Amino acid sequence: MAFPKIHLSAAFTFGVLGNIISFMVYMAPIPTFYRIWRKKSTEGFESIPYLVTLFSSMLWLYYALLKGDAALLMTINSFGCVIEMIYIIIFLSYAPRDARKLTIKYFIYMNLGAFFILTLITRYAVPAHLRVMVYGWICVAVSVCVFASPLSIVRQVLKTKSVEFMPFNLSLFLTLGAIMWFGYGLFSHDICIYIPNIVGFFLGVLQMALYLKYRNTRKVILDEKLPEHVREIVMLSALGASEVYPVNISPASSVTVDGIGATEHQKEHEAAKESDKDEKTTGKEDADVEKNGDLGPNTGESAV
């Protein structure tokens, strides 16, 4: 009888550690929303990461309720639903009209419509003994799709050879969170929890490896199609928690070429123009002096 107790104890330990890490991850966007509140503007930030995180948390929360013996899964995803709703409300309070309308539309379609339909289908179209398994695999599918966002950051790093937009602590927390929830799923014999976190673990390790490889590289080429001077770096974990790191991008210094900033190239170009202008002015003055026969006090030295 000791073997099941050891497994139960290990699952509880991993679940508590997973809750702690996911709690910290959920709290990561607070500086972003403090900035939005202080400036009374969303400054080009988008609401989609928070809507997706809320949707994922809602799915995992309902899965935990269906399962019935997943208190640690309930606690973190209940907190996730509350904190993400607060983020979305703050966003709606200061977003421009178009962004507000888009956020409300996505919220209605995804967080209300899709969630309600999935819950309804699972509740009435799936046999009771298969209900937990079917809804669990829906959660797995959503969690795996969520990893598309970190993969876009990996692609950006490979393209630019720079980790400027992939902070190391973000990748570290993604990896640690994946390990903890994998352990929780493994020791509680829940394949729907540990499968997506295997993907999260390898993605986190890949990101840290890329960081170590390119951490000293300075060559960065940003996407010129960005309409705003702010870029959001979004990381979504398998259990819904998200990290969003806002990065200010100054138009004058946003592009570097071969390790030299755009402003430096501009300064060099202006200096060259000034030099050409001075040379033309000097040449004109010398021509006027020769024409007038006045060679000035340094005529002898110049002639020699």
**What is the pLDDT at residue 8?**
62
Confidence of residue 241 (pLDDT cuts 50, 70, 90): low
Q: What is the mean pLDDT of residues 170-186?
A: 89
Q: 146 or 222, which is more confident?
A: 146
Predicted confidence band of residue 65 (pLDDT cuts 50, 70, 90): very high
The alpha carbon of residue 124 and the mean position of all alpha carbons in its chain are separated, in whole angstroms, by 37
Predicted pLDDT of residue 51: 92
Q: How confident is the model at residue 254 (pLDDT cuts 50, 70, 90)?
A: very low
Does residue 142 contact residue 115 with C-beta atoms inside 8 Å? no
Q: How confident is the model at residue 5 (pLDDT cuts 50, 70, 90)?
A: low
Angle in degrees, CA 280, 281, 283, rounded to 5: 65
Residue 113 has pLDDT above 50, yes or no: yes
- Torsion angle, CA of 149/174/256/42, rounded to 10 degrees? 60
- Among the listed residues 223, 199, 82, the one whose alpha carbon sits nearest the alpha carbon of residue 146: 199
Question: For residue 171, what pLDDT is reported?
Answer: 80
- Stronger pLDDT, 158 or 65, i.e. the higher one: 65
- Strand 256-257 with 260-261, pairing: antiparallel
pTM for the model: 0.71
Please report the pLDDT score of residue 237 as a whole number.
57
Flag whether pLDDT at 290 surpasses 60. Answer: no
Q: Give the model's pLDDT for residue 37.
A: 92
Domain boundaries, the chain: 2-252, 260-303
Q: What is the 3-state secondary structure (H, E, C) of the chain?
A: CHHHHHHHHHHHHHHHHHHHHHHHHHHCCHHHHHHHHHHCCCCCCCCHHHHHHHHHHHHHHHHHHHHCCCHHHHHHHHHHHHHHHHHHHHHHHHCCHHHHHHHHHHHHHHHHHHHHHHHHHHHHCCCHHHHHHHHHHHHHHHHHHHCHHHHHHHHHHHHHCCCCCCCHHHHHHHHHHHHHHHHHHHHCCCHHHHHHHHHHHHHHHHHHHHHHHHCCCCCCCCCCCCCCCEEEEEEECCCCCEEEEEEECCCCCCCEECCEEHHHHHHHHHHHHHHHHHHHHHHHHHHHHHHHCCCCCCHHHHHC
Give backbone dihedrals phi and psi of 232, rounded to 5 degrees, phi first: -105, 130
Q: Quick check: 76 pLDDT over 90?
A: yes
Residue 234 near residue 254 (C-beta atoms within 8 A): no
Report the chain's mean pLDDT, rounded to a whole number. 76
pLDDT digits (tens, 9 = 90+) for 195-234: 889 888 888 888 888 888 888 765 554 444 444 444 444 5
Cα 28 to chain centroid distance, Å, stands at 11
Percent of the chain with pLDDT over 90: 36
